[in-house]
Amino acid sequence: MAISLKVNGAVRAVPAEPDTPLLYVLRNDFELNGAKFGCGLAQCGACTVLIDGKATRSCITPIGALGNSAITTIEGLGTAGKPHPLQHAFIDEQAAQCGYCINGMIMSAAELLDNKPKPTEDDVRQSLAGNLCRCGTHNRIIRAVLRAAQANANGRT
Ligand code: FES
Ligand code: FES
Alpha carbon of 146 to ligand 1 centroid (Å): 24
CA of 138 to the centre of ligand 2 (A): 9
Q: What residue spans of 3-137 are helical by DSSP H? A: 22-24, 74-77, 85-92, 102-115, 121-127
Residue 92 carries which side chain, given as an amino acid letter? D
Residue 37 Cβ inside 6 Å of ligand 2? The answer reads: no
DSSP state of 71: E
Whether pLDDT at 1 is above 90: no
Q: Which bound ligand lies closest to the C-alpha atom of 136? A: 2
**pTM for the structure as a whole:** 0.96
* 126-144 residue pLDDT tens: 999 999 999 999 999 999 9
How far apart are the CA of 17 and the centre of ligand 2, in A? 32
Does residue 109 carry a pLDDT above 90?
Answer: yes
Q: Is residue 46 within 6 Å of ligand 1 at its C-beta? A: yes
Is residue 65 predicted with pLDDT exceeding 60? yes
Please give the pLDDT value at position 49: 98
Beta strand residue intervals within 8-112, DSSP E: 10-15, 48-51, 54-57, 70-72
Map residue 106 onto helix, strand or coil: helix
Q: pLDDT tens-digit profile of 5-40? A: 999 999 999 999 999 999 999 999 999 999 999 999
